Structure 1
Amino acid sequence: MVRAKSLKRIDGMSDIFARIVAMIGAVMILMRRWGKSPHAPAVGAAPAIPEAQPQRIPTLKMPTAKGWSDGHVPTVAPGLKVNAFAKGLKHPRWIHVLPNGDVLIAEALGVDGGRIKTPFDYAMYSTMKRAAAVGVSANRITLLRDTDGDGVAETRHVFMEGLNHPFGMAMLDGTFYVGNTDGVVAYPYSDGATRIEATGRKIADFKPAGHWTRSLLANSDGTKLYVGVGSLSNIAENGMEVEEGRAAIYELDLTTGTNRIFAGGLRNPVGLAFEPSTNMLWTVVNERDGLGDETPPDYLTSVRDGGFYGWPFCYWGQTVDDRVPQDAALVASALTPDYALGGHTASLGLCWLPAGTLPGFPDGMVIGQHGSWNRSTLSGYRVIFVPFENGRPSGPPRDILTGFLAPDEKFSYGRPVGVKIGPDGSLLVADDVGDVIWRVTAA
């Protein structure tokens, strides 16, 4: 986290320097557009991934956070409607629904300005700040309750506060689990409680910083928790020693108290979901930067026990990243993901959508695409649906919610993150720029 003195020094740097960095970034984007024609999105089970074009300085482009004006809402797919389930939150990221129908929202913001050492680091920090992607974290979980069933939360309570960048949540057998950036903590919970004040018990430790989110998902019998832990860096540029235990999905055995890496080589696995017909674990992964607009694509994939998915040595199977010192044996073992989601879409949220939950949508996965910061033409900034048949993706993605990004790409009204089926069968979407929880239902 950024110390107070560091923040003061960073924010006090001259506007002239910031403008120069922005101008350099704009020129670089134009040069890249002129230098080669745009590629079609790398999407689907057999994507056309362009040849890597290593960038000495990565593309930096992000819209200014604007938020939603009164009456302005995202664009919804035909046959659906959207309303604000709750407004006025502070950077809502993740959603969990308790058995009694209460909706919990993790409000947190990653602050990583402590590694500002170069002009590009400063440009990155300034851009992220303008886009409302860095700042002071609320570090709390808020409880929302729709008491009259009208699709709007009438009451809210501070369920927990003083946490360390909370993200994932799970509730099992009277125990509430929180995925803080530095580990998973268990708390006693009573049905219907609107606040937890008891001291928690830490059941797993994880290294903070870098990709800071710690998503949680319980298995069907409640004996295990799966935890997504992202890498510290882009391509292990600080060495593999500091990446030990990262870029992986962990399995926590709640019966024995032990944990292990379930699958590795996953640069930043965030959303987790089970496909019910096969009981297979799936995740969405944010891939590496600095190789071009569509190279490599973020992806949706099933997760095999003991599987290795390439990071940092290779991507999309065994395509070697020449920027990284190689490990031939690990490259040879790398699995190819199941379904590409396009380059730098920042696909974060993931949940299973049973057929009929939304009219016209079969079984499949819903994905919250937070949106890019590192390509010449922005991608993501939408909620999409990937249909499934026989436990596998079975067709092209469909939009559920769009309109988070202005047509000229200068502003973002919102950025979708977590997605979850609500207690009434609606689809809930966390929007961390709009500070809204959106609710999608049949029109």
Structure 2
Amino acid sequence: MKPIRLAVAAVFLLASPALAQPVAQSPTGNLEKLSPGTGTVAPRPIPQGGRRAEVIRKHLENIRLPPGFKIGLYAIVPDARHMAVGPSIGIVFVGTRKGHVYAVADRDKDRIADEVTAFAPPIQFRVPNGVCFSRDGVLFVVEQNRVLEFPAAESLFERPDIAAFVVTKQGELIPPSEESYNHTARVCRIGPDNKLYIALGQPYNVPPRDKIALYNKVGVGGIIRIDQDGKSREVYATGIRNSVGMDFNPADKTLWFTDNQVDGMGDDRPPEELNRAPQIGQNFGFPYYGGDRVRTNEYKNDPLPAGLVPPQVEMAAHAANLGMTFYTGTMFPQFYRGGIFTAQHGSWNRTKPIGARVMFTSLKPDGTADQSEVFAEGWLTENGEYLGRPVDVAMLPDGSLLVSDDTAGAIYRISYEGQ
């Protein structure tokens, strides 16, 4: 079968005319100079009430949760994707696959957002899906092919002239020739080594052989790590089709990530994956495997590289497991503490839709996966209609769980109130 490459996007990120000067190179390690700013265009608040909010709250009545849990509307955020909760005052920054990053503020701490505004509006973002914080409060925004940092994001999020710096220049995160329409939503995390980890989906359903060497070299179809100033780039893991969720286990410092697997192989194969990468240099099997131990048609006769790492968990085929987080709070019962929440966006390449739910995976004492189960569901109706599609999960300082939804354009909050 001839490999099908996803359509190449013909959009190029340009500096906004509102910027008085180009965004500067990263000053990480020297934050005395916090200029230039991004401009003077004031962000407009996103309306939080009205009929749209009423309809979303009505849909949430259909969501099924374990006993003692409650879900409510936290914020209306257009195209809400991956989230980063600020370590200082809990401002939630939300990436999208469009051209905006949003800042969500709950000023009175009633666990419902008071204000949602576009963050750094003069910057023309290009697929700013990936957002993550360093431990000392620097916000990183990973776009399709650029990385930016905002040293004072949480304290100055309302200002249009907030300082912005380039960590990785446009066109240097991946080769521009490998930019595509799909598999471009990046995610990021700061690791225990204080480096920035970035997942780089590859632009094919199954890539041709003449791309493998390039992808392994630069980390496309893998996970890379760099210093926070953009230097010392390394390929941390390979053999990954399209990871759109990762997090570090705070107990043993190991990296875990979700991986969306090959389309076009039927409703129930191959399974999607939740993986564990305790060390650099591991290969997780793609494109030789389209999912755990299911050979792809394109590579079924190829010899397997040595040492391929199997997944920790097989998830339902085509459920689109995206964002994930380790639960480190104390609000939820003991069973959930230290485990993994993952968001399933829902299927498109399936005759009967599946997904649109939040999963929970518990861990064994040795730090490996135990079992997975459905935690929250009901966004997919019996007739196959999506009332919402979860993308990411993140924890607020009080231990409640946020769930983003890019279809409804909302963020939900799940809390535990006891039985």
Query: Which interval holds the TM-score relative to the shorter structure?
Result: 0.7 to 0.9
Would the aligned equivalents of 2:79 and 2:405 in 1 still touch at CA under 8 Å? yes
2:105 pairs with 1:166: no
CA separation of 1:299/1:197 partners in 2, compared to 1, >3 Å: closer, same or farther? Answer: same
Please list every run of 5 or more consecutive structure 1 residues that lacks an aligned counterpart in the other structure.
5-66, 110-136
Query: Which residue matches 1:84?
Result: 73
TM-score, length-scaled by structure 2: 0.77
Would the aligned equivalents of 1:168 and 1:214 in 2 still touch at CA under 8 Å? yes
Provide the C-alpha distance between the structure 1 equivalents of 2:293 and 2:361, rounded to a whole number of angstroms. 25
Query: Which residue matches 1:152?
Result: 112
Query: Which residue matches 1:49?
Result: none
Would the aligned equivalents of 2:328 and 2:399 in 1 still touch at CA under 8 Å? no
Tell me how many residue pairs correspond in the alignment.
348
Partner-residue secondary structure (3-state), 1:261: strand
Matches within 5 A, 1:19-34: none
Partner-residue secondary structure (3-state), 1:160: coil
- CA deviations 1:344-367 (Å, max 9, x no partner) are 110001000137432353431000
Shift of 1:206: 2.3
CA separation of 1:412/1:322 partners in 2, compared to 1, >3 Å: closer, same or farther? Answer: closer
Amino acid at match of 1:151: R
Matches within 5 A, 1:421-436: 421-436=395-410
Would the aligned equivalents of 1:371 and 1:380 in 2 still touch at CA under 8 Å? yes
CA separation of 1:215/1:2 partners in 2, compared to 1, >3 Å: closer, same or farther? Answer: closer
2:212 pairs with 1:225: no
CA separation of 1:247/1:2 partners in 2, compared to 1, >3 Å: closer, same or farther? Answer: closer
Partner-residue secondary structure (3-state), 1:90: coil
Shift of 1:202: 3.0
Would the aligned equivalents of 1:68 and 1:413 in 2 still touch at CA under 8 Å? no
Query: Which residue matches 1:10?
Result: none
Percent identity over the alignment is: 26
Would the aligned equivalents of 2:319 and 2:356 in 1 still touch at CA under 8 Å? yes
CA separation of 1:183/1:430 partners in 2, compared to 1, >3 Å: closer, same or farther? Answer: same
Partner-residue secondary structure (3-state), 1:439: strand
2:144 pairs with 1:181: yes
Query: Which residue matches 1:106?
Result: 94
Question: Which among 257, 264, 267 is matched to residue 290 of structure 1?
Answer: 264
CA separation of 1:264/1:200 partners in 2, compared to 1, >3 Å: closer, same or farther? Answer: same
Question: Which among 162, 171, 188 is matched to residue 197 of structure 1?
Answer: 162
Amino acid at match of 2:166: R
- CA deviations 1:97-126 (Å, max 9, x no partner) are 1122333343423xxxxxxxxxxxxxxxxx
- CA deviations 1:360-383 (Å, max 9, x no partner) are 534310000001111122221100
Shift of 1:264: 0.3
Query: Which residue matches 2:325?
Result: 351
Question: Which among 54, 71, 74 is matched to residue 58 of structure 2?
Answer: 71
Would the aligned equivalents of 2:127 and 2:143 in 1 still touch at CA under 8 Å? yes
Shift of 1:283: 0.3
Amino acid at match of 2:65: V
2:184 pairs with 1:212: yes
Query: Which residue matches 2:100?
Result: 140
Provide the C-alpha distance between the structure 2 equivalents of 1:293 and 1:329, rounded to a whole number of angstroms. 25
TM-score, length-scaled by structure 1: 0.73
Would the aligned equivalents of 1:355 and 1:361 in 2 still touch at CA under 8 Å? no
Question: Which among 369, 374, 378 is matched to residue 393 of structure 1?
Answer: 369
| Higher RCO (CA < 8 A, seq sep 6+) | 1
Would the aligned equivalents of 2:270 and 2:292 in 1 still touch at CA under 8 Å? no
Indicate the structure with greater helix content. Answer: 1
Provide the C-alpha distance between the structure 1 equivalents of 2:237 and 2:199, rounded to a whole number of angstroms. 10
Provide the C-alpha distance between the structure 1 equivalents of 2:295 and 2:154, rounded to a whole number of angstroms. 51
CA separation of 1:200/1:327 partners in 2, compared to 1, >3 Å: closer, same or farther? Answer: farther
Query: Which residue matches 1:50?
Result: none
Would the aligned equivalents of 1:187 and 1:200 in 2 still touch at CA under 8 Å? yes
Query: Which residue matches 2:347?
Result: 372
CA separation of 1:348/1:317 partners in 2, compared to 1, >3 Å: closer, same or farther? Answer: closer
Would the aligned equivalents of 2:95 and 2:130 in 1 still touch at CA under 8 Å? no
Provide the C-alpha distance between the structure 2 equivalents of 1:230 and 1:201, rounded to a whole number of angstroms. 21
Partner-residue secondary structure (3-state), 1:399: strand
Would the aligned equivalents of 1:93 and 1:431 in 2 still touch at CA under 8 Å? yes
Shift of 1:182: 0.5
Question: Which among 304, 314, 329 is matched to residue 340 of structure 1?
Answer: 314
Would the aligned equivalents of 1:318 and 1:335 in 2 still touch at CA under 8 Å? no
Amino acid at match of 1:394: D
CA separation of 1:190/1:339 partners in 2, compared to 1, >3 Å: closer, same or farther? Answer: closer
